[in-house]
Amino acid sequence: MKTPAPQTKSDKPGKKPLPKLDNKDLSKSGFWLSHLLTILATVIGVYLAAQAGLSQALIFDTLQTKQNNYYLRSSLYAELADNTALLNAYNHDVLKKGVSVDTIKLRNPRLSSYVWESMKFSPTTLETPTYFLTQTRRFYADVNEIIHKVEQGQYGSQHASSLLQQHLDTMNNEVLPKLQASATALTVELQKYDVVVDLQDEVK
């Protein structure tokens, strides 16, 4: 009678043999994981670069707009200051002296409005505070109306002088100082980004 052969560990009932690890499977898994990480890193890198590029583009555009508006405000200030000085002399030398209507017509101040008219076609104008646009528009309209009416004899020279002086006082004491201050404030903002503005840039 034969004795039964002894059972080995692998022959024990209820237990399955462990699968053998294949190095090829491990290398394939590592390959795909490496590629997935590379793709993920690339996507993140492109996204961050795009965000940084967009941010820089927006900053550049903002600085360019501020720089253009600085030159616009400075030019408007210079034109208004010149016209105000001209009207001051006109009021003092003509209207306040009570000269004839014919003399008043001959001494028409002929205001310059090149900058103001050019601003109608500049997109930078919309970046200028409404206060300055409104005050400038009213100044030109009211002053030209006073000049027209005194030349037509509808206003006496003394009455015209009084009205004109009110507009000159507002321009000299309120509008021009605020306009100059606003241009200066823009230079401070631009200097934070090392952007230097100089009204003499184009003539150096």
pLDDT, one tens digit per residue, over 48-80 is 666 556 556 556 566 677 888 899 999 999 999
Q: Is residue 155 part of a domain?
A: yes
pLDDT over 80 (residue 108): yes
Region 24-45: mean pLDDT is 67
Per-residue pLDDT tens over the stretch 112-130 = 999 999 999 988 898 899 9
Identify the residue with better confidence: 171 or 12.
171
Looking at 55-59, 81-85, 90-94, 110-114, which range is the least confident one? 55-59
pLDDT at 187: 87
pLDDT at 203: 39
Q: Is residue 97 part of a domain?
A: yes
What is the Rg, in whole angstroms, of the alpha carbon atoms belonging to the chain?
40
List of residues 6+ apart from 9 with CB closer than 8 A? 15
pLDDT at 202: 47
pLDDT at 52: 57
Please give the structure tokens belonging to residue 166.
């009110």
pTM of the prediction?
Answer: 0.70
Q: Is residue 56 part of a domain?
A: no
Contact present, 190 and 63 (Cβ < 8 Å): yes
pLDDT over 80 (residue 35): no
In which domain, by residue range, is 88 found?
64-196
Q: Is residue 202 part of a domain?
A: no
Q: Is residue 105 part of a domain?
A: yes
Q: Is residue 22 part of a domain?
A: no
Query: How far is residue 83 CA from its own chain's centroid?
Result: 27
How far CA 193 is from CA of 50, 70, 72, 188, 197, in Å, comes to 21, 15, 20, 9, 12
Q: Is residue 116 part of a domain?
A: yes
Per-residue pLDDT tens over the stretch 142-162 = 999 999 999 999 999 999 999
Identify the residue with better confidence: 70 or 17.
70
- Domain count along the chain: 1
pLDDT at 204: 40
